[in-house]
A and B are shown apart, each in its own frame.
Chain A
Amino acid sequence: MTTKVIEHTQPSFSNLSDEQLIQQFVQGDRHAFDTLYYRYVKPIYNRVRYVIPETDVEDVTQEVFIAAAVSLPSFRGDALFSTWLRALTKNKVAEYYRKQSRKKETMQVDMEHAERLSGQSSTSNLEDRTALRYALNNLPKNYREVILLRFAEGMRFKEIANCLDQNPEATKSLFRRAISALQKEVEVKNE
């Protein structure tokens, strides 16, 4: 996950590591959590945006950070905070679809939303986004993950390889197979 310290945070916090910030937050300093929020909001928002319909992206992103604040005292530091937060995001996305078994429903909502916004942006682009989002959600987890890490979180292939505990060649091969599967999913949908 790309980490950028944003100027909204208190200057004294911006140099602290994630672990130090977590410690400060657990001890009762809520500004430490603000710093974590500004550090991670963009990659989390982007990840959510690739798999959740436009109308609910903000809500789900908020839920991720609320869940993070609630669960941080039990964060044991076995994994990196960014990895933990990513896992939390995946859980929230899964919960979103599980809650109202929206997977099929959302497709419709998303299309309607695309139509409503057609005046503001190109309809075909929104339709394309909806179709791709739907196809992404139908991919096997490892394929979806490698695409999200590269496109939504902007990680380099080397970083993705580290994250997935693979060598770069294997990661690139996985990425190629993932894009190929996505292409097939989109074609199936179009037929």
Chain B
Amino acid sequence: MNAPAEVDVVVIGGGATGAGVLRDLAMRGLRTALVERGDFASGTSGRYHGLLHSGARYVESDPLSARHCIAENAVLRRIAPATVEPTGGYFVATPDDPDEYLERFPVACATAGIEAEPMPLDELFRAEPLLNREIRAAYRVPDASLEPWELVEANLASAREHGAATHRYTAVIGFERSPDGSITAVRVRDERAGEERAIECRAVVSAAGAWAGKVAVLAGARLAMSPGKGSMLILNRRMTTAVVNRLAPPGDGDILVPVHTVCILGTTDIAVPDPDDVHVTRDEVDALLADGERLVPGIRHARVLRAYAGTRPLYDDPDHEGKHPDESREISRAHHVIDHGQRDGVGGFWSIVGGKLTTYRLMARDVADAVATSLGVDAPCRTADEPLPSPATGTPYWLGDRLAALEAEGGGDAELICECELVTRRRLTQALDERGDSSLDDLRRTTRLGMGPCQGAFCTPRAAAMVDARRPGTANLPLRGFLDERFRGTRPIAWGDQLTELWLAAGIFRGTLAVAGLADLSEAERATG
């Protein structure tokens, strides 16, 4: 690691919030460094449904969060248009949804300042022919689809332009504190090299989301998080052109989000003691499909490519102690800035918790305001005005972007490493240049490698050979790791065509390529087994 040994602020957590905090502070002229225990956007930010909220989802249950969402929805379209596909969204009342909510919804939207336009049903079914014909009412809202990996990467890139340092695979293992209790340094470990060191600092922002409770404990502070697991299914094509929400209080299987060439059906909400528990159960899959049927009849016969889960960073606000609901969904989605100096006597340590990916910038602003003030910096927040530097285009994303870029690159005949997601050799080479020491899963987050129907059956060995060419002798563990990772998400939904696809992959990797027979893998297994 060639990181500075001393900065003003260390930001913990490389999701959207941490990246946003880093950018905000760096733009105010502070010297900053960000540490992330895994890859950037590999936690909750990279494991969500891809929705840019209008806020209409929360107009009744959480009006503050709703107002934050609609404000930030407009900001993100302005500062990061290429990460937003302006699909629009609908709230639809199925026969199972309560009448009284249908009546209150437009009023609540108006109160929150969210445009909710009644949609005539004949128009709705013309626009979205697969929707349930028993839908009784619909409103159009400014929901959209959002690409989280590009958004996080763009924030980090902007922060780096302003002098910030970013370190992935760098875990926080402890803190150094002065006699008065203030933080003086963050102790970190490079998870790949195994080296430990300290980064001296004047302040720390924990943007560790669902893991913020664990980080606080290391600093001698306390923070009661209530991680909520949300599971989602990826269907192999878009069922709708716009986001579709159930017109009901937030519940399971209540949203369908078109994302790139696929769509995401979400979301369950299960309180989990361990934020690392992102295991999707068969019961969750069944529940999602059963509820999805109410939006799109027959959806259970569609091809599901994969199941995955993320962990919501829900904060158990002590102000509400004594009336904790069992369902984690009822805990507020609005965010909280916690000054652990005031609260726990740990000076220079802040946590930013709760919130939504949609409101990451606002969360960042609020905590950055507090930190800057305490450090005597009066530069204002500029993140709402200055566009993010990448991706380069200033126009909104549309579905044809990748094919258009491919045609521009190779006259339609650029070499494809991943056919499903149109990832070219050039794109992967560029990703390897930028992030040389990446696993195949890291490259997936950057390029969408292996995210299509075959779930890596064809691109995995091709990409491994590229990694080997770059760093001879290092490709086998990444290859093996990617097979494990892709299998984990396929297994809960392995039936029908996707089970046959899994058997094809098994034939390739166990039959023809005999992966287990790779010399260093069998040695590694002997050593551990």
Q: Do A and B come from one complex?
A: no
Task: Please report A residues at the B interface, Cβ cutoff 8 Å.
Answer: none
Task: Please report B residues at the A interface, Cβ cutoff 8 Å.
Answer: none
